[in-house]
Chain A
Amino acid sequence: MGVFVFLPLILPLTAWPVARLAEQHLHPRTATRLLTGVAAVMAVCSTVCLALLMVVGTAQLPGNPLPDGWSDPEVREAVPYDEVAGKAAIPALGAVALACGRTLWRHCRTRGRAHRALAGLPGTAVAVLPDKVPYAYALPGGPRDRIVVTTALLGSLEPAERRALFAHERAHLAARHHRHLLAVQLAARANPFLRPLRTAVAYTAERWADEDAARVVGSRRTVARAIGRAALVSRGAPLATLAGFAAPGPVPRRVAALLAPAPAGRRWPSVFTTAGLAVWGATAGTAVSAMASANSAVTMIAILHAATPL
């Protein structure tokens, strides 16, 4: 156990370079799957280790359910009997459980409400709402998948661009992107170091749908125009960023990517490039994270088993 139990808590840092580089150097589909997988595994490992630390922490509380043999010097030797870490793990695990529960609950509630709002309409795949506010999104699950779009947005697009919009939303639904998004959201709640992966996946999932739409429509430029026009009609309050440091937002980056040639389908970057190093760094970090948490869990079970007088 020892120091291994702390490793998965900080190993998500190894995924930061790939979260930053994936959107430029990997196909959006590969990037989304890779980043979601890395985030999910690292979040689970980090939570397992937090739970193990919590067990150590509860040993210091009076009336804990741990066996009496737990306080033997041999056991104290084997576990990180650090007062601060053990005690801090208890509220941390509680916060993680609360945050994940809240995210999950809000996700289900909003989806349910959105489906109920559409209840009176005929059950078509596309729900067109007469509304002056332009917006469009894919509404997964429930009785069936639906695309919600307002007349204001449709009215501002040309026929070819409308096809691009519908192809984009259908791609979201067909590839079940909401699961990826939910997974990285939960991961970001489980370990704050995983937040850059959530931002990255939110972007690569959009890019994935853009690429699919471009293939269906047969014109990258049409999809780019549809995105640009939709963004310009629906621009609301500008995002709260410092103007001086503002990097190009997701929409211009998506448009620029569509105006560039299509990304190569199945191409992993070589280990000797920056992106390759980032990918393999994150993969190694995930593997070490998994092994460290498995090691800690096995050790903990072995200690508990040994300390239990049977």
Chain B
Amino acid sequence: MKYAAAEGRQGVTDHRQRPRRRGQGELEVLVLSALREADGPVTAGWVQERLGGDLAYTTVITILTRLLAKGAVTRERAGRSFAWLPVADQAGLAAHRMRRVLDKEGDRQAVLASFVTGLGPDDERLLRELLGRPGDDSCSASDDGGEA
């Protein structure tokens, strides 16, 4: 009960038999700081180990999921589980929020004119043909490009 958040990680190892209760915010800070120390995406198991192993795996997952909902961490699929990484800065957080906006908008084409639209079944081949063609700005070979 007496341990502060900062020394919690060192402290828990010799008090493993005596489980102590911690506030939600404290655990989130611990998990987040563990993620920041990692260089690259890590699994929840890695975080659990890093924290000394006194937290249940499911607890770590719960905290990570809560951090994900808050936009403080992101995750990517790695094999059968997820690899987690902290959202480093404002830009990362903004990217995360923007993705949520775009994913929520099913018909995003209708709202934001994006630079390119999706490619049809034959478009990729056609596009490679067009771009692979030698020529300069005065190139006028487009007979097969327009919709006939």
Contact = CB atoms under 8 A, between A and B. Distances in A.
A117 B74 CA distance: 16
A135 B118 CA distance: 11
What class of interface size applies to chain A in its complex with B?
35 or more
Given A107-B111, A129-B98, A206-B113, A219 B137 contact: yes
A243 interface: yes
Contacts of B108: 110
What class of interface size applies to chain B in its complex with A?
35 or more
A309 interface: no
Nearest to A220: B137
Contacts of A150: 95
A181 B121 contact: no
Contacts, number: 177
29 contacts: A24-B147, A106-B111, A107-B111, A113-B104, A117-B94, A117-B97, A117-B98, A118-B94, A129-B95, A130-B92, A133-B99, A135-B115, A221-B137, A225-B131, A227-B116, A231-B116, A232-B124, A232-B128, A234-B116, A239-B118, A241-B121, A243-B121, A246-B120, A248-B126, A250-B117, A252-B123, A255-B131, A259-B142, A261-B138
Interface of A: 23-24, 103, 106-107, 110-111, 113-114, 116-121, 127-131, 133, 135-139, 148, 150, 153, 165, 168-169, 172, 177-178, 181, 185, 202, 205-206, 219-221, 224-225, 227-232, 234-239, 241, 243, 246-253, 255-257, 259-261
Interface of B: 88, 90-95, 97-102, 104-105, 108-124, 126-128, 130-131, 133, 135-142, 144-147
